[in-house]
């Protein structure tokens, strides 16, 4: 049985191929969230962070966790662990030499989450040059965002140039006096 004593809000997510919807209740049953949910990691993370800041621990329940619900579930799971716990868990794996699954079980962490943290710590420390560091990932995300904005601006400029080209191509008539 799952202990839900420290949960501030229960967020049920109905996930679909094109749209998601979230419905949040406090332990007392008060509706605090009833909105469409985004389908991208940064936007989902922002929603979860906002709920966490307002209500504390957020328990996310996803209706299709093995398929289209995997992204919201992964983001929610990842957002739920404090940085101090992540650092402590990685230190424990590195210093004890115990298997990741055993350390994860002892600390109440999902083993795949801990495995990812350990791998990312190895990358950030220079031990895995084949993978991107956290700084490189952040830089790449920023570049992708800027690229998307530039593409959008470029589309606007193309549309504007087509519009003005049509205006210039039309024969001009002199007004009659």
pLDDT attached to residue 16: 77
pLDDT attached to residue 35: 92
pLDDT per residue over 118-139, tens digit each?
A: 988 888 888 878 878 888 888 8
pLDDT attached to residue 1: 47
User: Is residue 128 helix, strand or coil?
Assistant: coil
pLDDT per residue over 50-89, tens digit each?
A: 888 898 888 888 776 666 656 666 566 555 667 777 888 8
User: Mean pLDDT highest for which of 37-41, 59-63, 91-95, 122-126?
Assistant: 91-95
Q: Cα separation of 118 and 94, whole Å?
A: 8
Per DSSP, the chain holds a count of helices (H) and strands (E) of 6, 4
Q: Which residues contact 103 (CB under 8 A, 6 or more apart)?
A: 89, 92, 93, 96, 109, 114
- How far is CA 97 from each of CA 91, 93, 117, 123, 126, rounded to the nearest angstrom? 10, 6, 15, 18, 19
pTM of the complete model: 0.42
Q: Cα separation of 125 and 104, whole Å?
A: 21
Q: For strands 57-62 and 7-15, give the pairing.
A: parallel
pLDDT attached to residue 167: 77
Determine what percent of the chain is predicted with pLDDT higher than 70: 86
pLDDT at 14 over 50: yes
């Amino acid at each position: 049985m799952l202990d839900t004593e420290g949960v501030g809000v229960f967020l049920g997510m109905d996930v679909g191929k094109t749209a998601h919807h979230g419905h949040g209740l406090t332990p007392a049953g008060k509706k605090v969230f009833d909105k469409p949910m985004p389908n991208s990691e940064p936007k989902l993370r922002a929603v979860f962070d906002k709920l966490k800041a307002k209500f504390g621990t957020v328990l996310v329940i996803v209706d299709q966790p093995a398929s289209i619900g995997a992204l919201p579930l992964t983001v929610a799971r990842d957002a739920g662990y404090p940085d101090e716990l992540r650092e402590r868990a990685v230190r424990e794996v590195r210093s004890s030499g115990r298997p990741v699954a055993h350390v994860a079980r002892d600390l109440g962490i999902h083993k795949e989450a801990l495995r990812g943290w350990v791998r990312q710590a190895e990358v950030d420390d220079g031990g895995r040059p084949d993978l991107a560091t956290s700084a490189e990932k952040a830089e790449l995300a920023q570049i992708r965002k800027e690229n998307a904005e530039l593409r959008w601006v470029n589309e606007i400029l193309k549309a504007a140039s087509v519009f003005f080209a049509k205006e210039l191509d039309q024969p001009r008539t002199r007004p009659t006096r």
